[in-house]
Structure 1
Amino acid sequence: MTTGTAPQAPREGRGRVLTVAKIARLAGVSAPTVSRVLNGQTGVALETRQRVEAVLREHGYRRPGGASSIAVLELVFHALESLWALEIIRGVEKVAREHDLAVVLTEMQGRLTPGRAWTEQVLTRRPTGVIAVFSELTVAQQSQLATRSIPLVVLDPTGEPLHQTPSVGATNWNGGLAATRHLLDLGHRRIAMLSGPTEWPCCRARLDGYRAAMDAADVPLDPELVRISTLYVEGGLADGRALLRLPDPPTAIFTANDLQALGVYEAARLDGVRIPEELSVVGFDDLSFTRWSGPPMTTVRQPLERMGATAARMIIELAAGRPLEQHRVELATELVVRESTAAPSEC
């Protein structure tokens, strides 16, 4: 059973109708397969779908409402304000190119949930699938996609994934643990943590990893050294300055992302604090600018490009009707030690 508006029979030449049977014959597939492609249903191998789409394009067919017959992959971001997003786009685009898919990119300008207009446009486009990056689709939106057989994969989800919604993330807890252990091994004990919003699992996991490392080292946690900040340079600057102006300031700061760490760099510069001689700094993500920072930044590498590629491959598997080996994929993080960390000056 299909949903939505039934596709109109395409025309071939002057007044001649290109029937489903003829499309099937030209593409070398069965008529039910053509119907599934026309109705945007899953269960068709990507190569087969592309062969049918090629026949449709050759004969000038367009779906009802003017939607293109070109297969697309929908990529939704809450914001496009840093190299973080670019790394993910690069991974998605690489896989999409390998499979002759176009990528449609939507930015929600800081909102976490797409609006009604986006939902209507996606249902009209009927993409091969949707990847939601750091975004939250409502239960109703997820149901609408499922009804139209449009697969959904969530990348770095902001909330706990609903039911069996496939998702891709990184080992954030391990990353937080490794970063804090590195600072402890250097001799630091006054270690501050700039977290992002703790309602987001990735930020909460990094904070929990920091706490676990401090607890394992039997180092008491000073509540003044833990700040919930925004994931931008401005957050790192404001909270970094507040930390450095404490009566007993930290000798090291671990941040939830590289942008916050860059803000801490600026806070240290403004207050005349030298990195790493007087303050060690560790970021998270390993964006391209970290190796050119002054000094080059120690950070936790998050495999952002691989995360995007993994999500795209999951969409392709689901669109072809193949079951996923894993519904939740977590890729490993890695501590990258550069020149922004050193033993505290009193050691």
Structure 2
Amino acid sequence: MDDDAGTTGPTRPAPTTGPRQTWAGLPWPVRTAVTWSACLLVIAAGLWLLGQVAVLLAPLAVALAGTLFLAALLDPVLVRLRRLRVPAALAALLSILLLLGILVGVGALVWNLTASQFGELSQQLDEGLQRSRDFVTSTLPVTDQQLDRLVEQVRQGLSSGAPDPVSGARRAAEVVGSLLLGLVLLFFLLKDGRSMWRWVLRRMAGPRRDLTAEAGRAGWRTLGAYSRGTMIIAAIDALGIGLALVVLRVPLALPLALITFLGGFVPIIGATVAGAVAVLVALAANGPTTALLTLAAVIAVQQIEGNLLEPLVMRRQVQLHPAVILVVVTAGTLVAGVAGAFVSVPIAAVLWRVLDTVQRHRSGEVTRTAEATG
């Protein structure tokens, strides 16, 4: 009997179809699509969580952002006071009092010069609205009854969307609390901001300290440049449009100039809204010819500001694409209303500059490493 008759050779293991083999067997476009989809889902979930936190802490976040904005705006004043050997606490207090004095003084001046014009403007608005109504009904295929129904629907929609007294009181309390918190934080930030930053840097070691210091300086310079540049550009816009309104004898020129100044802190949208208000007041007060001249003046001033002043004042430190600005302003408005629209763009500009600095720092490290090993 052959001893080898009942024996068999070594058997090969049957091929397994585990997760790795299944994944490797998929075409590469499918693997790429699955990987990117998973990454997008994780990013979307993270952004959603951040959005929920931002909504819950919106008053605190807006107060912190506004405090940093004002601190960057007042930092040159604080530095000059400190160079005169003024104590830190007194220098911070004097800087805040200067800011409050300017705001209160400008508000009181505008009110005293224009309070008597509000009654006259009410009558002019009625006449202007009536002229606008006659123009619409005589030019467009719209009857008086259809226009009345449209106006009534708009009025009812605005009334239904208005907040109830309880939520309005709660929102007013939140605004007052945020303002008080912002003032207190502004004082301590001006007084101890630099020592706080040095304390943070001392807790780091090695390359992280240098990277954090560089990114922090870049972000702070960007915020300071944005705050001061925006204030200068908004003031020039307000001065140009205000002078045009005075020349055209449009009532309430000073309040409209003040609205233009405040609107300058909300890029693109703020200037558009402020210009529209000025044109509507001119139309109601002096008729369509003055309104067209006002519109031409607003467009001319904004074109000079956008094409000449903004690149000259802002340089390249805070440049963001207009599409990015629109998205950021819209998101800030949805999260925190008007206050969110004011602070959203400087936050985005600072974050962009910090990320750009980190990327440049890492690229420099990679280059230096490659040169050393080569």
Q: TM-score range by the shorter chain?
A: under 0.3
Structure richer in strand, relative to its length? 1
Question: When the two structures are superposed, what TM-score results if normalisation uses the length of structure 1?
Answer: 0.24
For the pair shown, the structure with the greater C-alpha radius of gyration is: 2
